[in-house]
Amino acid sequence: MIEDTMRNNRRSFLQQSLLGSAGLTIASTSEVHAAPVPDADKPEVTEQVDVLVVGGGTAGTIAAIQAGRAGAKVLLVERGTQLGGAMTTGGVAFPGLFDAWGKQIIAGIGWDLVKEAVELDQGTLPDFSKVPQRHWQNQVTINQFLYVILAEEKCAQAGVQIAYHEFPQAVTKTEGGWQVDCRGFGTRRRVSCRQIIDCTGGAEVVGLLGLPRLREEERQPGSYLFMLGSAHDPGRNQIHRLYVHGADSTNSRTVTLANLTGRKSILGRLRKGDKRLMHLQPETGFRESYRIQGETLITVNDYRSGRRFDDAICYAFYPVDLHTKNGVKPEPLKHGIIPTVPLRALIPKDSRNIIVAGRCVSSDRLANSGLRVQASCMGMGQAAGAAAALAVKHGTTPLEVPLKEIHDLLRGHGAIIPGDV
Ligand SMILES: Cc1cc2nc3c(=O)[nH]c(=O)nc-3n(C[C@H](O)[C@H](O)[C@H](O)COP(=O)(O)OP(=O)(O)OC[C@H]3O[C@@H](n4cnc5c(N)ncnc54)[C@H](O)[C@@H]3O)c2cc1C
């Protein structure tokens, strides 16, 4: 009652302010109320879940939804403020490639989400029955803002709990799985879980555990996405990209420097011309940092030859696409070749109860330059979510789940398994 009165007073104050002394029209107001957060005043909360997904980016969102839909209790911890990662925060809102040689080769949860984002935005989907002259012509242009909201809706529907602004600080092995201590601003969260899915892009949980990772002396440049001169029409137009050489998503210090460098350069361009700054992503898009050393490593020969791994869980398709200080010269795959991703490339070597998905997949640098694209990351994410949920169900580790069960679960959620098409 008291709250209602305060709300009404506030509304009338706002309306008065908008009316001003001239008594003009009232701007329409709308409002929504967030539910109270239990224990909001407590500095630490504890949580018991089946699957902890760290990183709610391109792969992690799909992993969490798949694990949730398979019946696991899932917590998704994301250090940023929204889902989608490179796709939304980085502004790389043109996911690919879901098709190869005239047919769709990656589908399932990620594809459904992308498709719904395009349809709700009244956009256009590519015709996968046509082989384009250039690979990027079959990438899907999406509205990054809409994708974020739809991804949150799908997480909620799958029972996935989201914790933004948090990241793991310490990971300890327990008898039943893991204890993960996460930190957020003004809060700490102690999570007990059976399985971890590391989708941080650079395999940061794998790093915290001291498991082996691979990192190049020189990393591919990142790109800062922005728009000068004309308005950004999300879901329709491409925006400007500035190469940020040396960009590295390894830690907060390297990310800070990349962002400062990118934004400073954009300011310089703005001052040199007469165009207005119309759009600026909040963060650099990072192409490369760490990859895991997995139970197997995908080599560029595996990738170029389209090796069909015996434990393949999804296809991948993109040219070998290494960006250097001189730019990029994509090397298309030979006609008919469609690479695959094995489950063992998602499992950190000699580990149990942890699986990764996304650009940190175990692969050599050139293979990774093609594997890192978004459709493949989504395919890997869905597979990791399925394997983790089944591992919880059987009280085992993802690698010991019968492959057929993983495949069956994935197909039940719309995914395409190598050999299906
Ligand atoms: C400039 C650029 C252009 C590209 N062009 C294309 C293209 O044309 N087509 C295409 O399909 N792909 C493209 N890619 C590649 C693709 O976008 C990425 O490789 C892919 O999105 C990576 O997905 P991911 O899930 O591995 O990581 P991300 O999408 O980066 O997600 C990682 C998430 O983890 C979070 N995170 C990181 N560390 C922590 C932590 N410690 N705790 C909690 N959360 C954490 C991050 O905030 C982020 O949300 C491009 C990439 C870049 C940078």
Let me know: does 108 contact 411? Beta carbons within 8 Å. Answer: no
What is the per-residue pLDDT for 397?
98
Round to whole Å and give the CA distance between 240 and 237. 10
Answer whether residue 377 shows pLDDT above 80: yes
Round to whole Å and give the CA distance between 232 and 280. 9
Let me know: does 314 contact 386? Beta carbons within 8 Å. Answer: no
More confident residue, 3 or 177: 177
Burial class (CB in 10 A: 0-12, 13-18, 19+), 377: buried
Q: Is 383 in the pocket of ligand 1 (CB under 6 A)?
A: no
Mean pLDDT (the chain, rounded): 94
Answer whether residue 11 shows pLDDT above 90: no
Residue 189 banded pLDDT, cuts 50, 70, 90? very high
| DSSP tag of 317 | -
The answer, as to whether pTM is greater than 0.85, is yes
What is the per-residue pLDDT for 72?
98
More confident residue, 325 or 296: 296
Residue 29 banded pLDDT, cuts 50, 70, 90? confident
Q: Is 132 in the pocket of ligand 1 (CB under 6 A)?
A: no
Q: Which atom of ligand 1 is nearest to the CA of 167?
A: 42
Probe target for ligand 1 pocket from 140, 152, 199, with the most ligand atoms within 8 Å of CB: 199
Q: Is 392 left (phi over 0), alpha (psi -120 to 50) or beta?
A: alpha
Answer whether residue 372 shows pLDDT above 80: yes
pLDDT per position as a tens digit, 138-176: 999 999 999 999 999 999 999 999 999 999 999 999 999
Round to whole Å and give the CA distance between 53 and 356. 9
Q: In what order do the strands lie in the sheet with 51-54?
A: 161-164, 74-78, 51-54, 195-198, 354-356
Q: Which atom of ligand 1 is nearest to the CA of 204?
A: 41
Say which residue the tokens 């015996």 belong to: 310
Q: Which residues contact 272 (CB under 8 A, 6 or more apart)?
A: none
pLDDT per position as a tens digit, 248-277: 999 999 999 999 999 999 999 999 999 999
